[in-house]
Amino acid sequence: MSTIYIRKAEPSEAEMLTTIALASKRYWNYPETDIDLWRESLTFTPANISKAMVYVAAHEEKVVGFYSLIHTLDDTVYELDDLWIQPSYIGQGIGKKLFKHAVALVEAQDGTMLRLVAEPNAIGFYQKMGMRKVAERASSPEGRVLDVMAVMVRSS
């Protein structure tokens, strides 16, 4: 694969990012009733992108994945709110590049920790990236529990 580069997302890419997030979630064969429950949290708007730290991975000018970071109330903790890859590009190292970019951004912002609520099918990936389970969080549908994972990016 030719070079993947990472750049800041443009507000005009909101619909495309929503399409990637939904396609990536569907990759795991969730029923459409569950996708409908998660649709709002997987929908991006130009305003979201303008206000947030959203970065895309592009291959030959085509956006093939993205992530978004949230600066939490604790000045040094950031949350990886989204990391989605276009299904035809899963397994090609793009998620790793995006994750490492997010860690570098957190470090550049003097952050000490990156955490996330993990998609169950991606836990192995996040463990390979050095993350460890630190808690659990209830989700939908009812009875679904997700792992909260974290990695220290620098000592405070």
Domain segments of the chain: what residues? 4-152
pLDDT of residue 143: 86
| Rg of the chain, C-alpha, whole Å | 15
Q: What is the pTM of this model?
A: 0.93
pLDDT of residue 140: 86
Q: In what order do the strands lie in the sheet with 4-8?
A: 4-8, 53-59, 62-71, 77-85, 113-117, 145-152, 132-138
Tokens 């989204």, residue? 82
- Output the six-digit token pair for 19: 């399409």
Cα-based angle 149, 64, 8 (whole degrees, multiple of 5):
75
Mean pLDDT of the residues in the chain: 93
**Spatial separation of the C-alpha atoms in residues 146 and 109, rounded to whole Å:** 27
Instruction: State the CATH class of domain 4-152.
Output: alpha beta
> Residues 15-44: what's their mean pLDDT?
95
pLDDT of residue 2: 63
pLDDT (tens digit, 9 = 90+) per residue, 44-95?
Answer: 999 999 988 999 999 988 999 999 999 887 779 999 999 999 999 999 999 9
